[in-house]
Structure 1
Amino acid sequence: MNTETQHKVHRDSQPVLHQRGEEIQPFGTLRLLPIALDDGVRAESTRLLNRVLADSVILFSLYKKYHWLMRGHTFYQLHLLLDKHADEQLALVDQLAERVQTLGGVAVGDPRHVAELTAVPRPPDGAEDVPVMLSRLLDAHEIVITAIRDAARRAADNGDDGTNDLLVSDALRRNELQVWFLAEHLVDTSTVRA
């Protein structure tokens, strides 16, 4: 191999680092995709989905935080349950973001941007009593469910069946089921005798 060939192979195998460029699609704009939905419908759906997405990212993060902070006689059960719910929320986050992209929008992804869009209140940075943490999760779920119901109704009214189906069949049903599982841990029953 001559020196020129060696240099070319070496140069072409190197990563091109520290690249910068212009933003190619600003947040809140749409790419043109042939999915038989009016631009106004796609714009409204992406806006509503990004709101649900931001709230869901925060809910996922709360689940992880409280999973780590669990304590007490139900530690093991709640530790596992909250981690399971976090995994399910993360799967929903991905589905919601992919729907935004399918509509031609830009999914909210940066945690700082998520914090600007969410309606879920910020909890204290430290640990709280277990019932308080569970109550905060239930409050966050109610915010998410309210946003889901609103977005699903508007998507249905606009003929955006794909968004409506995702919101009702996946997001709403998953959140309602998680609420039930959490709420049952706040029933004040004796753990020793009836």
Structure 2
Amino acid sequence: MAFTLMLCSAFFAIFAYFFFSGFSDFLPTTTSLMAIYVYLIALALFLAGLFLITNSLTTKINLMGVSKQQRIFGFLLEEKIAAKDIVDIISEKNGSSTYGKTTKVWFCLKLLTREGKNIEIGDNLEGQSYAEKIRQEMLSALGLSWQAATLETQNTNQKRPIPAWLGFGLRLMGKLLSYTFFIAFIYDMYLLSPEATEFISKLFL
């Protein structure tokens, strides 16, 4: 999946370069602005692919509990969960990929604690049967004496609402983008024909 994202980013970048170069003399400002946005999308896809490549997850399970080590862009994050705090280990679908007529479904394993936290301890597991096999092996590694803890928080599956400031920021960004394109278009039209610019301005302003 990582290489697919990076290939998509390369496709977007190459497409933008050749496509928008044909309009650079007609609407230079508008074309440059649109190309920048496409390049930003390509960069985001490339970084997402790079994140998947550099992201590594190591999970160790014994009678004492679970030890998780996750390395992201060279930074090591460690987390330990005692066996007495583990409620269950569940498998969840977290992605799919299609190659021709073949579709692969990927699963991850999440550890549920008594406080209601969901901690990912396994990822990129191909197929539900394989994910369930790894899940059973993890539960077995906790030992026969392990007993599931009681979940103290019942509302763990409720999604938190989007903060008001984030929603306002997204709406403001959308308006700014639309105004930016309109201003760039007006400027390009002014360079081509001042009379046409005055006519368009009267229609929209």
Give TM-score scaled by structure 2 length.
Answer: 0.28
The structure carrying a bigger helix percent of its residues is 1
Higher relative contact order (CA 8 A, sep 6+): 1
Larger radius of gyration: 2
The structure carrying a bigger strand percent of its residues is 2
Give TM-score scaled by structure 1 length.
Answer: 0.29
